[in-house]
Amino acid sequence: MKFCSACGKPVRFTVPEGDHKFRYVCDACNTIHYENPRIIVGCVPVSGNKVLLCKRSNEPRKGYWTLPAGFLEKGETIEAGAMRETLEEANAEVVIDRLLSVYSIPDFGQVYIFFLAELSSANFSPGVESEAVALFSESEIPWAEIAFSSVRFTLKKYFDNGSLQQTAVYVGSHGIVNDPDLPGNW
């Protein structure tokens, strides 16, 4: 950040008085610009023993497979956001079953929240951000072509431990979970 979003004047990167972290501070209007993580919501859309994945048509990670997910919008619940993203990216309608995973990426300032959801029908197709969508059983999952560590974590936990009957919520984080299967960069 170079300029204050409140008044347009230049900001300084400094530790405000009484604080302990560096913040962007505007001396003109005295606004402190706190930077908080963004929430990304998505679904693990399930049909029988298969999970719906989307092949990304945009960077980052173009051509890699992901679960339908995206930034939560102001004014919507996390469930509504997850269903909206599933509709946008896979043209798929789902019924949410339960919370499945929460995954933090402190370095990027992101928190992923995934719901386990049942596909309402066999009707799905690529949305604007997907070049393909398809159902995968556990043995068919293209593990080497999964876009993000949050998606890999969630799929792995789902297939290792999950089913529609179980109720565990899996909490993970990038760079903290010592999991050799998680790639270093994503």
Instruction: State in angstroms the smallest separation of the CB of 9 from Zn ion.
Output: 5
State how far Cα 33 lies from the chain centre: 24
Residues 90 to 129: which contact Zn ion by CB under 5 A?
none
CA distance 154 to 129: 21
Tokens of 35: 């930077």
**Interface pick for Zn ion out of 1, 7, 169, 176 (rule CB under 5 A):** 7
Q: Tokens in use for 147?
A: 């876009």
Among 25, 26, 111, 117, binds Zn ion (CB under 5 A): 26
- 32 binding Zn ion? (CB under 5 A): no
Nearest residue to 41 (alpha-carbon basis) of 73, 5, 78, 10: 78
Residues that bind Zn ion (rule: CB under 5 A) add up to a total of: 7
Pick the piece of the chain touching Zn ion (CB under 5 A) from 20-28, 85-93, 141-149, 171-179: 20-28
Instruction: Kindly give, in sequence order, each residue whose CB lies less than 8 Å from that of residue 173, ignoring residues fewer than 6 positions away.
Output: 103, 104, 105, 106
Of the pair 33, 84, the CB lying nearest Zn ion is at 33
3-state secondary structure of 121: coil
Question: At its nearest, how many Å lie between Zn ion and the CB of residue 17?
Answer: 17
Query: What pairs with residue 66 in β-bridges?
Result: 54
For position 1 contacting Zn ion by CB under 5 A, the verdict is: no
Instruction: Tell me if 69 contacts Zn ion by CB under 5 A.
Output: no
Q: Decide if residue 6 touches Zn ion (CB under 5 A).
A: yes
Strand partners for 168:
none
Give residues in contact with Zn ion (CB under 5 A): 4, 6-7, 26, 28-29, 31
